[in-house]
């Protein structure tokens, strides 16, 4: 018996040793396939290799799921779609075969706010298929989450509770729930649905502050945009930012003037502030004081052609006219330095005479990647007139 037991132990040890290289090879294959997928480029570059890698990666074991999900973070949108496909294929096959998924590791991934919001959401959706209680356990704690989808879910739960409190005529509970919901709300539809009853309860809501709109600007113009030529002309404000300077504009001398807006959504109506406003260019500038170096998004809405500079560096531009305007229409990533940061906008109006082509407006807000407002450390240097 002792001899047989020893022989069986030796057999298991030898089998494990022989299996180790295969497991290592499998792990290496997973990493190689992920690398091939993430190397996919535009216009078909390396697509054939990526497609083959997706097919092979989709046959990986379930314990590869966290590895694949982690690689969403620095992958381009096409690569993310293919990584998602591999995750779905592996999870679906495992669920159909075993009726189970690694719930513990999936939940751990969902809780890791440093991970890609898209990957966390995908992990959450598969987690719910094997643990229906996960929603009640996780979502209430996600009111300030880095993922806009998780925040939205958390806000929706509070809104539903507030509705029940309203039906029970419990105004104090309703007020507390709505106030809490607003602190996490970043989507305009939810914000509007929360603000209306809050105001009916006598609460004051500052939407300019909630969204992080920039409401004080110095404007100069108009400069010439006849035949839309002004978009690519570097007028003086692009070469120097001197708020005391005067320049030759489209109709004569122009100078910087300070304005503010009381519009709840931070909308500046340039047409009402500078004339004439057809075939014209206006520049707007303000200063944003940051308490530290940080990554931000400038979110802009305008029906007009535009460019934006931060600290003298152009970070984006878009030459299109009269396709409508809405909140967060454009999202531009930027880096702020500690202290004052100078923001310059160029807003161009064309010469169309149609009634629907008269709008000449802009709105700008500063937020993080999830849409949460970032407020300045102190008031901007431009004042109000």
Q: How much of the chain, in percent, has pLDDT values that exceed 90? A: 83
Per residue in 218-255, pLDDT (tens digit) is: 999 999 999 999 999 999 999 999 999 999 999 899 99
Give the pLDDT band (50/70/90) at residue 154: very high
* Contact indicator for 303, 293 with CB cutoff of 8 Å: no
Give the pLDDT band (50/70/90) at residue 16: very low
Per residue in 309-367, pLDDT (tens digit) is: 999 999 999 999 998 999 999 999 999 999 999 999 999 999 998 988 899 999 999 99
Per residue in 356-377, pLDDT (tens digit) is: 889 999 999 999 999 999 999 9
Q: What is the pLDDT of residue 374?
A: 96
Question: Mean pLDDT of all residues in the chain?
Answer: 90
Q: What is the pLDDT of residue 23?
A: 36
Q: What is the pLDDT of residue 381?
A: 42
Lowest mean pLDDT across 40-54, 92-106, 210-224: 40-54
Phi, psi of 203 (to 5 degrees): -85, 145
For residues 111 and 142, give the distance between their C-alpha atoms in angstroms, rounded to a whole number.
Answer: 9
User: What DSSP line would sit under 181-198, residue for residue?
Assistant: HHHH--SHHHHHHHHHHH
Asked whether the predicted pLDDT for residue 6 surpasses 90, the reply is no
Domain boundaries, the chain: 2-132, 148-205, 211-367
For residues 316 and 308, give the distance between their C-alpha atoms in angstroms, rounded to a whole number.
Answer: 6
Q: What is the pLDDT of residue 41?
A: 76
Q: What is the pLDDT of residue 37?
A: 92
Containing H/E element for 2?
Answer: helix 2-38
User: Per-residue pLDDT averaged across 174-202, rounded?
Assistant: 97
Q: What is the pLDDT of residue 27?
A: 60
Phi, psi of 269 (to 5 degrees): -95, 95
Q: Which CATH architecture best describes the domain 211-367?
A: Sandwich (2.60)
pLDDT top residue among 128 and 357: 128
3-state SS of the chain: helix, strand, coil percent to 5? 50, 20, 30
Contacts of 303 (CB under 8 A, 6+ apart): 321, 322, 323, 324, 325, 359, 360, 361
User: Per-residue pLDDT averaged across 174-182, rounded?
Assistant: 98
pLDDT top residue among 6 and 43: 43
Q: What is the pLDDT of residue 28?
A: 63
Asked whether the predicted pLDDT for residue 64 surpasses 50, the reply is yes
Residue 334 has, within 13 A of its CA and on its CB side, a CA count of: 27
Neighbours of 140 (CB within 10 A): 12
Give the pLDDT band (50/70/90) at residue 48: confident
Asked whether the predicted pLDDT for residue 12 surpasses 70, the reply is no
Q: What is the pLDDT of residue 248?
A: 96
Q: What is the pLDDT of residue 186?
A: 95
Give the closest residue to 328 by CA, choosing from 348, 302, 306, 304.
302
Residues paired with residue 282 on neighbouring β-strands, in sequence order: 347
Helix, strand or coil, per DSSP, at residue 108? helix
Contacts of 202 (CB under 8 A, 6+ apart): none
Give the pLDDT band (50/70/90) at residue 26: low
* Contact indicator for 377, 213 with CB cutoff of 8 Å: no
Q: What is the pLDDT of residue 272?
A: 85
Q: How much of the chain, in percent, has pLDDT values that exceed 70? A: 89
Tokens 């509070």 label which residue?
158
Bond before 276 cis per omega within 30 degrees: yes
Go through 353-381 and write b for each residue having 16 or more CB atoms within 10 A of its CB, e for each that does not.
Answer: eeeebebbbbbbbbbeebbbbbebeeebe
Q: What angle do CA 253, 285, 360 make, to 5 degrees?
A: 75
């Amino acid at each position: 018996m002792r001899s047989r037991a020893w022989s069986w132990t030796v057999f298991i040890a030898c089998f494990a040793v022989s299996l180790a290289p295969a497991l290592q090879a499998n792990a290496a294959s997973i990493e190689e396939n992920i690398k091939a997928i993430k190397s996919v480029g535009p216009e078909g570059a390396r697509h054939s290799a990526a497609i083959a890698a997706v097919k092979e990666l989709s046959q990986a074991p379930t314990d590869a799921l966290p590895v694949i999900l982690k690689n969403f973070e620095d992958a381009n949108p096409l690569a993310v779609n293919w990584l998602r496909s591999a995750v779905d294929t592996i999870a679906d096959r495992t669920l159909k075969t075993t009726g189970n998924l690694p719930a513990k590791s999936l939940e751990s991934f969902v809780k890791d706010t440093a991970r890609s919001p898209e990957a966390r959401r995908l992990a959450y959706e598969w987690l719910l298929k094997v643990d229906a209680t996960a929603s009640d356990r996780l979502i209430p704690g996600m009111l300030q989450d880095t993922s806009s989808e998780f925040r939205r879910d958390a806000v929706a739960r509070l809104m539903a509770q507030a509705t029940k409190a309203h039906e029970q005529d419990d105004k104090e509970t309703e007020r507390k729930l709505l106030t809490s919901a607003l602190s996490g709300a970043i989507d305009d539809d939810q914000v509007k649905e929360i603000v209306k009853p809050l105001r009916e309860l006598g609460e004051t809501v500052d939407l300019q502050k909630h969204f992080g709109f920039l409401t004080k600007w110095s404007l100069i113009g108009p400069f010439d945009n006849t035949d839309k030529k002004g978009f690519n002309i570097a007028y003086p404000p692009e070469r120097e930012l001197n708020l005391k300077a005067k320049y030759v504009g489209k109709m004569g001398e122009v100078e910087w003037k300070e304005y503010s807006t009381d519009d709840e959504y931070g909308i500046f109506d340039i047409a009402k502030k500078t004339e004439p406003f057809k075939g014209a260019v206006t520049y707007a500038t303000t200063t944003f004081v940051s308490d530290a170096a940080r990554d931000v998004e400038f979110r802009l809405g305008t029906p007009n052609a535009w460019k934006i500079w931060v600290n003298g560096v152009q970070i984006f531009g878009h030459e299109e006219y009269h396709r409508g305007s809405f909140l967060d229409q454009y999202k531009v990533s930027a880096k702020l330095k500690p202290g004052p940061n100078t923001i310059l906008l160029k807003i161009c109006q064309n010469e169309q005479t149609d009634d629907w082509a008269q709008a000449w407006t802009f709105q700008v807000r500063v937020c993080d990647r999830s849409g949460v407002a970032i407020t300045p450390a102190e008031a901007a240097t431009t004042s109000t007139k």
